[in-house]
Amino acid sequence: MKIVTAYVRTQCAPQLMRALHEAGVSGLTAYGVRGMSGETATFLYSKRPYELGHLPEALKIEVICEDDSVDKIIALIAQQARTGSPGDGIVAIQDVERVLRIRDIA
C-alpha cells in the first residue's frame, strides 16, 4: 500500500477532484493548506512574512491506495493540475506498512 500526497493550486481543485472521482479513486482526503513555497514571489513576505493572509493557499490531497494504482493517480494529478506556471504543485509517494480500521482494533 502507498499514500500519495499532492499539493496543487486551488484553482485546479474542481477538475482534479472530478477526474479522480470518475477514475474510481475513493477514500481521498482534500483540504486547504497555507505555506511558503520556494517558487512564490518574495514581495508577499516583505512586510509581515508569517501572517497567514500573506501565505499562498494550496490544496492538499491524500490518497491511500494499492501499489498498482499509484501510476494512474499520479498521471491524473499531473494532467489536471498542470497550469504551465512555476509552482504547479508537488506529489510525494510513501510506503504504508499497515492500514487498520478503527472499528477492527480490539
Residue 53 CB-density burial (10 A; 0-12 exposed, 13-18 middle, 19+ buried): exposed
Residue 27 DSSP SS3: coil
Range of 42's domain? 2-104
Tell me, what CATH number does 61's domain have?
Answer: 3.30.70.120
The total domain count for the chain is 1
pTM of the complete model: 0.78
Nearest of 2, 29, 1 to residue 94 by alpha carbon: 2
Residue 7 DSSP SS3: strand
Distance CA 47, CA 32 (A): 24
Q: Tens digits of per-residue pLDDT, 46-97? A: 556 566 666 678 889 999 999 999 999 999 999 998 877 776 788 999 999 9
Nearest of 24, 14, 32, 15 to residue 79 by alpha carbon: 15
pLDDT(20) > 90: yes
Q: Which cell goes with 20?
A: 479522480
